[in-house]
Chain A
Amino acid sequence: MVTITPIKEPNLIWQEPVLEALPDNIRGMICGIPIDIRLDLEEIRIREGRPLMVYSHGKGYFVCKDGKLTAHMESAYRATDKDIRCILQLISDYSIYAFDEEIRNGYITLRGGHRVGMAGKIVLDNGKIQSMKYINSFNIRISREVIGSADKLIPYLISGRDVFHTLILSPPQMGKTTLLRDIARKLSNGFPGFRAVKVGIVDERSEIAGCWQGIPQREVGVRTDILDGCPKAEGMMMLIRSMSPNVIITDEIGRSEDVAAILEALNAGIRVIASAHACDLQDARLRPVLSRLLDCRIFQRIAVLGGSLGVGTLEKVYTGDDFAQILHKPVR
């Protein structure tokens, strides 16, 4: 029996909730992984009948029975069907029936905001995904928050007590969600020179706040309300009607109903901060919904993230009315 002891080391706090989701034997193996790898662990991959793997610093390693890492898959531990069944019970708190919706979406969020992705056979009903069975692969993604990632951008987003409508453009994996989360935290906690405002987050994919049973597992600020797992357009309307936020933050807009909801929020005097997948302004113009939003001159600030100085580099900031650049060189 591997006992899980709470750990103070900030880079290892993921261990407690993640280990709770693993069967005893795999718990032992993960605990046996060398500490330098564990400190920066990104993913744990468990596939039935195949070697147990972990990813750290973007590199994959096979894990042996005693936790040693190896490059040879022959000596790696292979997950059994009992392991897989056990993980499924543990991540769902023995209540798979309560996670129908999550399983349909392909992931369950653990306490601490870590996400377990699943793959198996999809059951269709009238061409729509109804459920998943024979679940046989898990990808446990360890989430870490970068507090202070919004520090560089914040001065461009506010003027006095006002917050600008902002669109954040970024290619995938460049820290968009982390940035949104930190913006939410800063605006909702306030900081010298800025009086805190009420923030509403529509977290369609439970990524911004990483909610577990409705409670945010990430630092999103004291004046922040979260609609977890809620479709963006409906969620924005619900927040407007019921929670009177000053700022609404949402992830990955791109459907036409999102535009309608943003317009609605605008008319209600609410500031919107949203993100979208695009490498740059030109790129965004090619996407019909985004180009419509840009043409309407709704957003007052457009920030572009990239990787020129490493993940999360703030590449450009444009004003929304004449698309003039106000950030002259990339900062990180």
Chain B
Amino acid sequence: MILKIVNSCVIVLTSTLIGFEAAKRYVMRARELRAFQSALSRLETEILHYSSLLPEAMLQIGGSIGGGTGKVFIRTGNLLAGKKNYSVSEAWSSSLQCLKGELFLEKEDVEILRRFGEQLGSSDKDGQVKYIRLTLMQLHEDEEKAQVIREKYERMYKSLGLLGGIALAIILL
């Protein structure tokens, strides 16, 4: 009997965890979109007010933001600082591609960021600021969408995990 109770507990716990894990995707996507927005705002400041060089600015921002977002900035910064003949857009999109597994972003989010990379570093300050603001706007829209989706699915997956676990435990009992 005790074994059965322990087993059921394990089942409920695991399934709840699976539910939380499934819900995490939605939470993290929204969080990463926000992180990219704050990183881009900082990049805007670096470009507009400090005229920092792109590789330096990328490394600095990446270091302080951390997480998957930070890694994208750091990898791009390192590629550029190495002067290995990458163009900015190549370095940026290769970083996005390479770190895909660590990011929770959806295809459409990555596409916005990739397009942003094509313009990065290649025009004067006004141009750069314009592209950054445009990208910020698009990311913000995506974030809002992500929030709506999150609200819908987060609770669902969490309850599904818990309830599914309980159901399974009852059946097996």
Contacts and interface: CB of A to CB of B under 8 A. Distances in A.
B93 to A, nearest CB: 14
Contacts of B51: 95, 97-98
A23 B86 CA distance: 9
Contacts of B127: 97
Interface in A1-44: 1, 20, 23-24
Interface in B44-90: 47, 51-55, 80, 83-85, 87-88
A24 B87 CA distance: 12
Contacts, number: 52
Contacts of B84: 1
B121 A89 contact: yes
A24 B90 CA distance: 15
B121 A86 contact: no
B108 interface: no
Contact of A97 (B55, B80, B121): B121
B38 interface: no
Given A24-B85, A94-B80, A97-B47, A89 B122 contact: yes
Given A1-B85, A24-B85, A89-B87, A95 B121 contact: yes
A96 B85 contact: no
B124 A96 contact: yes
A306 B118 CA distance: 51
B128 interface: yes
B125 interface: yes
A136 B146 CA distance: 44
B80 A100 contact: no
A145 interface: no
Interface residues of B, number: 20
A85 B87 contact: yes
B88 to A, nearest CB: 5
A23 B122 CA distance: 16
Interface-centre pick from A23, A92, A93, A131 (highest chain B CB count, 10 A)? A93
Interface residues of A, number: 17
Interface string B103-132: 000000000000000001111110110000
A92 B127 CA distance: 16
B124 A131 contact: yes
A99 to B, nearest CB: 8
A90 interface: yes
Contact of B124 (A86, A90, A100): A100
B87 A97 contact: no
A98 B52 contact: yes
A23 B52 CA distance: 23
Nearest to A101: B51
A81 to B, nearest CB: 13
Contacts of B124: 96-97, 100, 131
A89 B53 contact: no
Contact of A100 (B52, B87, B121, B125): B125
A96 B125 CA distance: 8
B83 A96 contact: no
Contacts of B125: 97, 100
B85 A98 contact: no
A89 to B, nearest CB: 6
B88 A93 contact: no
Given A89-B121, A89-B122, A98 B83 contact: no
Contact of A95 (B54, B83, B85, B87): B54
A19 to B, nearest CB: 9
Given A95-B121, A96-B124, A97-B121, A90 B53 contact: no
Interface string B19-57: 000000000000000000000000000010001111100
Contacts of B54: 93-95
Contacts of B47: 95, 97-98
A100 B123 CA distance: 9
A23 B87 CA distance: 10
B92 to A, nearest CB: 10
A100 B126 CA distance: 10
B128 A90 contact: no
A93 B85 contact: no
Given A93-B55, A98-B47, A98-B53, 8 more contacts: A1-B85, A23-B85, A24-B85, A86-B85, A94-B120, A95-B51, A95-B53, A96-B123
Interface of A: 1, 20, 23-24, 85-86, 89-90, 92-98, 100, 131
Shortest Cβ-Cβ A-B pairs, 5 listed: A98-B51, A94-B54, A95-B54, A94-B121, A93-B53
